[in-house]
Amino acid sequence: MIRNTKLAWYCLAPVVVLLFPLIAASLVVLRLSFGVKDAEWTQIGLDAYFQLASPFFARSFILTLRLAAESAVIDVLLAVPVALVLARLRSRLWRRVCLLAVLMPLLVNLLLQSYGWLVVLGPAGVVNRALLSMGLIERPLRLLYAEPAVLIGLVQTALPLVVLPITQALRGVPIAMEEAAATLGARRQQILRQITIPIALPAVIAAGTLAFAYNASAFAVPLLLGAGRVQMLGVVIHTEVAPLFDFPQASSASVALTAAALLLTSLVGLWGRRKPA
């Protein structure tokens, strides 16, 4: 028993080493959030937290949580059919090809992906050129620099994070159960609705909360695709740092966002556990 515990600690050591800077940095941010501008380390105050109640921060907060929630829901709706295909593909080759296609966004830098959307949705982009060449419009449509463009970017970048856990969960649903239901007269839609999805539901909820947490802290996507007009909290925090040098304000907003995301994901997790399978 003692040997196993020691071995366990040795195995955990790399994780602890990696986690230490993250925890240390989080504690520094927490301490800074209680600081005072220009005297962050020598004075303590709550002004930065009181400022979060102002209309400016409140609007950004609500926008951030709303866009994160919307993108999570859309991701789940898109991910389930993709995961079903991945889970049920018999050909190993095609399964690998599809998996690679799903994983691509994780392999490509986030900035490059956002630039890709600029190419697709921009005034001289693929969509506008197609519409102009078909004569459906006279001047390029303004598809970028607004909430819909940011939402598209958030959905696309978080999709792999949602597809993979749902695929694993669907693989765990015994095919024999689905076949048994079919032999008893259940249609495909009924099997999906009453057997497959309910069994995979905890994983679907977990994947959705993962997408929510990922997109709540989004910075590059709203910055590039929103071009300053979609003020998610990540962008606001960036402005507080540069050019305002208000590190306590930036830190308090970060702490509040982290707390809100943790609270919401915990509540959703609790709800998911209480739902009967």
Applying CB under 8 A, the residues found at the interface with other proteins are: 38-41, 54, 56, 59, 118, 122-124, 140, 142, 144-145, 223-224, 227-231, 236, 238-239, 241-247
Q: Is 247 within 8 Å of 40 (Cβ atoms)? A: yes
Name which of 168 and 217 has its Cβ closer to other proteins: 217
Give the total residue count for the chain.
Answer: 277
Nearest distance in Å: CB 144, other proteins: 7
Cα-atom radius of gyration of the chain, to the nearest Å? 23
Left if phi > 0, otherwise alpha if psi is -120 to 50, otherwise beta: which for 38? left
Structure tokens at 9: 């600690």
CB of 39 to other proteins, least distance (A): 8
In the complex, the smallest distance separating the C-beta of residue 17 from other proteins, rounded to whole angstroms, is 22
For 230, the 3-state DSSP assignment is coil
Q: Among residues 128 and 209, whose Cβ is nearest to other proteins?
A: 128
- How far apart (Å, rounded) are the C-alpha atoms in residues 253 and 61? 9
> Taking the complex as a whole, how short is the minimal distance between the CB of residue 130 and other proteins, in angstroms?
15
Query: Closest approach of Cβ 79 to other proteins, in Å?
Result: 30
d(CA 208, CA 68): 10
Phi, psi of 36 (to 5 degrees): -120, 140
Instruction: Report the alpha-carbon distance of residue 264 to residue 108 in Å, rounded.
Output: 29
* Distance from the first to the final alpha carbon of the chain: 36
As given in the structure block, the two tokens for residue 71 are 């993108």
Q: Is the CB of 90 or the CB of 139 nearer to other proteins?
A: 139
At its nearest, how many Å lie between other proteins and the CB of residue 230?
7
Distances (CA, A) of 204 to 75, 104, 162: 10, 21, 8
Q: Which is nearer to other proteins, 116 or 123 (CB)?
A: 123
Nearer to other proteins, 53 or 184 (CB): 53
The answer to whether the beta carbons of residues 35 and 233 sit under 8 Å apart is no
Closer Cβ to other proteins, 171 or 238, answer by number: 238
Residue closer to other proteins (CB basis): 110 or 118: 118
CB of 137 to other proteins, least distance (A): 13
CA distance 87 to 151: 27
